[in-house]
Structure 1
Amino acid sequence: MKKWLVTAAAFWLAACSSGEESKRYYQLPVIQNAAPVSVSQASRQLWVEQVTVPDYLAGNGVVYQTSDVQYTIANNNLWASPLDQQLRNALVANLSAQLPGWVVASQPLGAAQDTLNVTVTGFHGRYDGRVIVSGEWLLNHQGQLIKRPFHIEALQNQDGYDEMVKVLADAWKQEAASIAQALNRMP
């Protein structure tokens, strides 16, 4: 009986240690340096209602474009939490840091709030060493709808998924800065 258990354990260990690469999980870095602002003190309020991503980005795997028409979804390099949630959380944090005096939240704040919806169409690395962050955002500002497209290409300085995720996060932060500038120009 012991011989059978040892043999079964050896087969199980061999199966578990087959040449399969270990999985790596990625989370976008989020800044946490926004000064606290109460809703009653804020001159403006912004609800980031949703950030949507297409199906090819909505899975667990980090996406890499291998040619003009082909995309690969990684099996072992995965998002630690759904990408749309990560993008929304990072956007709220970045806008909060860049819009002093505003309350920026991921839930409704009240009747006087502006509402922002973002559709991300590209958030991936590419075969030429660049990352792509693209899409459009729609702002409802006091009943007026403002829609703006965005397309950012940023160069990776090093190879690998770690670097790709960092550059993607920087590009997303850059788009948040662009949105903040647009919001600051509104009456």
Structure 2
Amino acid sequence: MKKWLFIVGVMVLTACSSGSDNKSYYQLPLAAQTGGQTSTSQGNRLLWVEQVVIPDSLAGNGVVYQTSDVQYVIANNNLWASPLDQQLRNTLVANLNSQLPGWIVASQPLGSNQDTLNVTVTGFHGRYDGKVIISGEWLLNHQGQLIKRPFYLELKQQQDGYDEMVKMLAQGWAQESASIAKEISRLP
């Protein structure tokens, strides 16, 4: 009798653990770095990426996919490996560091003479027509002067699937980082 209970128990545990929960976890890849920038703050300009804010619809674990003009689905099995706002902030800091020579870019305060960048991302998802959408706005406080710019990118996926969607989202985010860097590099 004990052997029978043991076998039933093992079968129940096996059935529970081998469900169809094939979850995939995604992390935004960093854009190709052009030589790591290591320098001290003397003579460099300082930029604090204070925050990257995302709406509640993007703040969950699931990757978001737009299925029609008005409907969005948050995936249950295709999940972000870490919170999306952190991934966006970390990749933005890394991208800006590599694209802004003479600047130190960080995700923590750097001192009283720093510029401050805040980004609000309103769209960061795939869409039913095979495109990815990256949208929002950024606000830079440069020596007390506020500079605000909206952004909207649509990029076409070359292949189907979440892997390709995440790669294209990362590519679009890198493009937006380059656009921000270009604006910042023009500052007096």
The TM-score normalised by the length of structure 2 is: 0.96
What is the RMSD of the two structures over their aligned residues, measured on CA atoms? Answer: 1.0
CA distance in 2, matches of 1:74, 1:113: 39
SS of aligned partner of 1:78: strand
What is the deviation of 1:98? 0.4
Percent sequence identity is 68
Q: Which residues in structure 2 correspond to 1:1-187 (within 5 Å)?
A: 1-18=2-19, 20-31=20-31, 32=33, 33-42=35-44, 44-187=45-188
Structure 2 residue runs of 5 or longer lacking an equivalent are none
Between the aligned partners of 2:174 and 2:36, the Cα distance in structure 1 is 14
**Is contact 1:37–1:102 with CA below 8 Å preserved after alignment?**
no
The farther-off stretch of 7-16 and 115-124 is 7-16
Task: State the one-letter code of the partner of 1:52.
Answer: V
Question: Residue deviations 1:49-106, cap 9 Å, x none?
Answer: 0000000000000000000000000000000000000000000000000001100000
How many residue pairs end up in the alignment?
Answer: 185
Find the residue that maps to 1:72 and give its secondary structure: strand
Deviation at 1:134, TM superposition (A): 0.2
1:114 & 1:41 partners in 2: Cα distance? 14
2:132 is aligned with what amino acid? V
> How far 1:40 sits from its partner (Å)?
1.7
> How far apart are the structure 2 equivalents of 1:108 and 1:17?
47
CA distance in 2, matches of 1:53, 1:34: 28
TM-score, normalised relative to structure 1:
0.96
